[in-house]
Amino acid sequence: MARPFTLFTGQWADLPFEEVARLASGWGYDGLEIACWGDHLDPWRGAEDDAYIQDRLDILAKYNLKCWAISNHLKGQAVCDDPIDQRHKDIVGSRVWGDGDPEGVRQRAAEEMKMTARTARRMGVDVVIGFTGSSVWKYVAMFPPVTQEMVDAGYRDFADRWNPILDVFDEVGVKFAHEVHPSEIAYDYWTTVRTLDAIGHRPAFGLNWDPSHFVWQDLDPVGFLWDFRDLIYHVDCKDAKRQVGNGRNGRLGSHLPWADPRRGWDFVSTGRGDVPWEACFRMLNTIGYEGPISVEWEDAGMDRLIGAPEALEFVRRNAFAAPTAAFDAAFSSSD
* Tally of domains within the chain: 1
In a domain, 97, yes or no: yes
In a domain, 329, yes or no: no
The domain that contains 55 carries what CATH number? 3.20.20.150
In a domain, 182, yes or no: yes
pLDDT digits (tens, 9 = 90+) for 61-72: 999 999 999 999
pTM as predicted? 0.96
In a domain, 114, yes or no: yes
- Answer whether residue 257 shows pLDDT above 60: yes
In a domain, 335, yes or no: no
In a domain, 334, yes or no: no
3-state helix/strand/coil string of the chain = CCCCEEEECHHHCCCCHHHHHHHHHHHCCCEEEEECCCCCCCHHHHCCCHHHHHHHHHHHHHCCCEEEEEECHHHHHHHHCCCCCHHHHHHHHHHHHCCCCHHHHHHHHHHHHHHHHHHHHHHCCCEEEECCCCCCHHHCCCCCCCCHHHHHHHHHHHHHHHHHHHHHHHHHCCEEEEECCCCCCCCCHHHHHHHHHHCCCCCCEEEEECCHHHHCCCCCHHHHHHHCHHHEEEEEECEEEECCCCCCCCCCHHHCCCCCCCCCEEEECCCCCCCCHHHHHHHHHHCCCCCCEEECCCCCCCCHHHHHHHHHHHHHHHCCCCCCCCHHHHHCCCC
pLDDT digits (tens, 9 = 90+) for 263-318: 999 999 999 999 999 999 999 999 999 999 999 999 999 999 999 999 999 999 99
pLDDT classification of 335: cutoffs 50, 70, 90: low
- Answer whether residue 168 shows pLDDT above 60: yes
pLDDT classification of 324: cutoffs 50, 70, 90: confident
Q: Which domain holds residue 318?
A: 5-324
